[in-house]
Amino acid sequence: MKLLKHNWQWKVTSLIIGILMWSYITAGVNPTQSTTLSDIPIRAINQDVLEEKGLKITEMEIRQVSMRIMGKRNDLGSLDRNYVIATVDVGSLKEGVQSVPIHYNAPANVFINEMSSSQVQVHVERVVTKSRNVVVRESGSLADNFVLRGVAATPQTVQVTGPRSYVEKVANILVTLNLSGLTADTSANLQVHPVDESGNVVEGVELSLSSVNVAASIDKQKEVPVQLQWAPSKDNAEKIRISQSSVTPNTVLVMGKAADIDKVTVIKTQPLDMKTITKDGLYPVTLSYPEGVTPVNDKLTYKAQITLDVLEERVMKISVDAIQSKNAGARKAQPAGDVKEIQLKLEGYKMVLDGLHASDFLVSADLRGVENGLRVLPLEVKLPNEDVLLKEYSPNQLLMNVVADNR
């Protein structure tokens, strides 16, 4: 006991020295250090409170921060940016741009020595809802000889909700219809996209619908000839006839459902009344289309080129020397007297009469039972065709000398 009391000073001294040596050794093994953590995301809290007031964050001027922290090497070695939290409380913000403090939370065994930012500028906008029209954009090509008659979207508008500036960027609600190879009407539910004036998708808005129904009407087209139709008319039908007629253009491109178009071989004009035709020329006509068939170009005008042929009378003169003898045997009849020609009063259409010559008519005298000598013989006229009417001829008999034919 006496020895213990006698050495206590040395023992205390030894204890202190031991503690100091232990601290020195441990400090060397696990010293205090600092490190930098980067790209720590800033989290906005109480956004639900903000949205209840009809507001929404549109921009935070910085989204990430960095900081320098200090702690023991063992503690820092297992630490990354996920262990440090940076937050901003947006629940009390109003519309506009405001500076909001950043709150940091780090593990208890380290402390924050330096921060890249202590505040952030937050942009807050009022949430609005606007109606925008649905626009259908076609892609691809229909099958040959088929055309797109029209498209319709149902509904025709979609509600767009979001921050005011975002909604104002939305020009239309775009849907894309693929027409590749189609030959009949089609209908499909297509996804919608909010786009700006340049057709770029606008992010950050919500739509009242994710898709709309788009119906496309698809027709077949075909080129067919045009045929001129005449209305029944008796007023001048006997005096005037059409010698030539044609329609310009002489074809029309029509469209309709395939079942209707396949039946069409010709398109007729509405009947043209002969009473309206007074001279050669062009006359406007209207085409008559079957039900379900329409022209591709409804602005095109059609005209009938008409050439008339008028019924008229004309005198054809035949030389008496051209009179032939019928049933003459070895005889012939020669004109006697002063008559030099036979005048035929003809009736026919002008174009027919213009093509006739005296040689086309046969004037003859029948010598059957007639004795030789001067005789007054009746004359017969044979017409060249049925399109000519002989109204009368003069003289219809002629003094002729019947003699032997010595040829």
Q: Which fold has domain 311-404?
A: RNA Polymerase Alpha Subunit; Chain A, domain 2 (2.170.120)
pLDDT value of position 25: 47
- 1 alpha carbon, distance to own chain's centre: 116
State in words which class domain 221-310 has. Answer: mainly beta
Separation between Cα atoms, residue 177 and residue 65, nearest integer Å:
46
As annotated, the residues of the chain forming the CATH 2.170.120.40 domain(s) are 127-220, 221-310
Token representation of residue 271? 């009947």
pLDDT value of position 105: 82
- Local confidence band at 80 (pLDDT 50, 70, 90 cut-offs): low
> How many helices and strands (H and E) does the chain possess?
7, 31
CATH superfamily, domain at 127-220 = YbbR-like domain (2.170.120.40)
Q: Which fold has domain 32-117?
A: RNA Polymerase Alpha Subunit; Chain A, domain 2 (2.170.120)
Q: What percent of the chain has pLDDT over 90?
A: 68
- Local confidence band at 12 (pLDDT 50, 70, 90 cut-offs): low
As annotated, the residues of the chain forming the CATH 2.170.120.30 domain(s) are 32-117, 311-404
Residue 26 in this model has a pLDDT that exceeds 80: no
What amino acid is encoded at 257 in this protein?
Answer: K
Q: pTM for this structure?
A: 0.60
Residue 19 in this model has a pLDDT that exceeds 70: no
Write down the residue that tokens 């499909």 correspond to.
188
Write down the residue that tokens 């036979």 correspond to.
342
Query: Could you tell me the maximum CA-CA distance found in the chain, to the nearest angstrom?
Result: 208
Separation between Cα atoms, residue 182 and residue 146, nearest integer Å:
8
pLDDT value of position 270: 94
Write down the residue that tokens 């006229």 correspond to.
381
Mean pLDDT for 324-344 is 92
